[in-house]
Amino acid sequence: MTGTRYAWDFSFLWSYRGLILTGLGVTIAYTIGTILLGLVVGLVTGLLRLWKNVLVTAPLVAYVEIFRCTPLLVQIVWFYYALPVVLGIDIPAHVAATLVLSLYTGAFYAEIIRGGVASIERGQWDAARAIGMRRAQVMRHVVLPQAIKRMIPPFMNQSIIQLKNTSLVSTIAVADLLYQGTIITAATYRPLEVYTMVAVIYFFVLFPLTLAAQHVERRLARSD
């Protein structure tokens, strides 16, 4: 070492606070938006997956597995660059980003929802059917109330991961927190400070959420 120790200096970041906050806002907006859209996708997919008809379930299994078993980064790039070529239409970055993130997390939600409903013992169906409940009534009054309780912990975990997943949209120039980081890096040539800051911000958003998730999980476990 010849005296070239890196001199850390975070002070310049203050002047970029507007950009950073905007980026964080975009990140949070994408997270919440795609969680909600993904939930709709996952709910429909997960419940239809319980159908016995293979013609219904086969395409849904294909969708879920394709999105679960390929890298999200590849999906984003593919939706943004390849899909427009295939379809012959223009897909703006924010549309591609929203679409992919929703479908991606929706695939995981679908499995959580399907698994939660499937985990309810057959005896519960038997008992509810035996007192004359219709299928929809069994679902609403007996199965879902129990299944939702089992779905909450994995749903919260998946949603927390989703916040980090949104950082990948920076690759197609969606101006999220990470993207703003690269912009600031390009202007300042100080990637170490910038990316450290980005990581710290993600941590301080996510850490309280993971604590909350653990708390909920413990409370649900106790009430069983």
Partner 1 sequence: MPETMIDIADLWKNFGALAVLRGISLRVERGSVVAIIGPSGSGKSTLLRCVNLLEDPDRGRIRVGGREMRFGAGLRSRHSDRELSAFRAATGMVFQHFNLFPHMTAIGNVMAGPSIVKRMARHEAAEIARALLAKVGLADKADSYPSQLSGGQRQRVAIARALAMNPSVMLCDEVTSALDPELVGEVLAVIEQLAEEGMTMIIVTHEVAFAHEVADLVAFMSDGVIVESGPPGQVLEHPENPHTRAFLARFHRFMGSFPGPG
Is residue 7 at the binding interface for partner 1, with CB under 8 A as the rule?
A: no
Minimum CB distance to partner 1 smaller for 63 or for 125: 125
- Select the span of 61-69, 86-94, 117-125, 190-198 touching partner 1 (CB under 8 A): 117-125
How many residues touch partner 1 (CB under 8 A)? 20
State the nearest-atom distance from the C-beta of 211 to partner 1, in Å.
Answer: 26
The Cβ of residue 73 has, within 10 Å, a number of other Cβ atoms equal to 13
Out of 21, 25, 62, 126, the only residue in the binding site for partner 1 (CB under 8 A) is 126
Between 92 and 145, CB nearer to partner 1: 145
Smallest CA-to-CA distance from 16 within 204, 173, 199, 177 is with 177
Compute the distance between CA of residue 72 and CA of residue 60 in angstroms, rounded to an integer: 18
Query: Is residue 223 exposed (0-12), middle (13-18) or buried (19+ Cβ within 10 Å)?
Result: exposed
Token pair 């479908």 is found at 103
Among 13, 43, 47, 129, binds partner 1 (CB under 8 A): 129
The residue type of 68 is R
Distance from C-alpha of 164 to C-alpha of 199, rounded to nearest angstrom: 10
Site string for partner 1, 130-169 (x = CB under 8 A): xxxxxx-x---xx--xx--x--------------------
Query: Contact, 97 vs 68, CB < 8 A?
Result: no
Closest CA to 157 of 209, 79, 101: 209
Region from 47-55, 84-92, 121-129, 199-207 binding partner 1, contact rule CB under 8 A:
121-129
Contact assessment for residue 41 and residue 99, using Cβ atoms and an 8 Å cutoff = no
Asked whether position 41 contacts partner 1 by CB under 8 A, the answer is: no
Residue 60 tokens, joined: 């849904």
Residue 224 interacting with partner 1 (CB under 8 A):
yes
Give me the residues that bind partner 1 (CB under 8 A), please: 121, 123-124, 126-135, 137, 141-142, 145-146, 149, 224
